[in-house]
Amino acid sequence: MDKIKKLRKIKLKIMSIFINRIIIICIAVCLFSCKTNTKEKKEGDKVESNSLLSPKVFSEKKTDTESVTYLYSRTLEDEDDEEYTMQELKIQWNDSLHIKFKIAMENTMCIMNEQELEASLITKNTYQVKNHPIIKQLKFDDNKDEVKLICKYGKYEGECDPMDNIIMRKASFKGKSELKKEELGEEEKITYETIYELKKKKYSTDCTSDDFAFFLVGGQFKTKDIFFNSRLTRINDTEYYIYFSPPLLDPIPSDLKDVASFSLNKPIGKIINNMEGELQFEWYGFYNRRTKEREYKQNPFTNKIENSSILLKWCDIGNVDGF
């Protein structure tokens, strides 16, 4: 009997030890689980916090690219020779290795507008053009103030082929554009044309002065205060809209500091050719796409804000100085 009691005590002791160990293991598992959950919660909070911050951080990054225009233009001095040519190159610097560009050209025979093209850096200041049948490379000087087109022509050279090995000089405001893509490409919405009734004619308020408007493919307006290129579109048989065509040339008024934002599809003026030897000239001013306001609203010939059109006389004096 004593032996049986002794065995029971031993069994109870063993069971007690076993139960205690199970309780200890359970407590340890619970503690570890709680610690893990706490850590995972903290990590989850951290991830959630980062996911909330990320869009804000990305939205504040600047994605604008630098836009620069290069220009070449020439008119022969011989009054009887109608050769006139202009080439304009618009560059968007995405980074130092890749660029996007558009090229436009005008002469007495045609007007050419290219779609957007791409080029990549291959050697110092030289970019290889992608997927163009004629333009192969763009070569810049060290300061990127000048550029040359390197072309390879086929068997036939057309009137509208781009010109190579000429120096095109920087003509536009240099800075990061904050304008929308549709605004940057707005000049494509306008069909410009040569107005043959005005071609190779010079007009002024006073034919003895140095202030004049000269029309060829488009037009150039030069006064003592401002000098700019223009393009024309026909409204009807006698009326034409005038559009700004970069660049502004010397002299450049000191208050015109945002030329890169000037609209190319908002008319800056209008001319009416309804009297022999005279033009009615109405001036609106340059439209700034950024500020949504007109700038330089004073008529360039009178230097005053006019409420109506003024008369420009045809000056039959042959070649115009400076062309």
Given a cut of 70, whether residue 187 has pLDDT beyond it is: no
Rounded Cα–Cα distance for residues 277 and 311 (Å): 10
pTM more than 0.75 = no
Burial class (CB in 10 A: 0-12, 13-18, 19+), 243: buried
pLDDT in tens, 47-97: 333 333 233 322 333 334 567 888 887 765 555 555 667 788 889 887 778
Given a cut of 60, whether residue 3 has pLDDT beyond it is: no
Q: What is the mean pLDDT of residues 276-285?
A: 93
Rounded Cα–Cα distance for residues 22 and 4 (Å): 27
Residues in contact with 249: Cβ distance below 8 Å, sequence separation at least 6, in sequence order: 222, 227, 228, 229
pLDDT in tens, 197-226: 898 899 999 999 989 999 987 888 999 999
Q: Running DSSP on this structure, what letter comes out for residue 49?
A: H
Angle, alpha carbons 247-253-259 (nearest 5°): 40
Token pair 């005279």: residue: 278
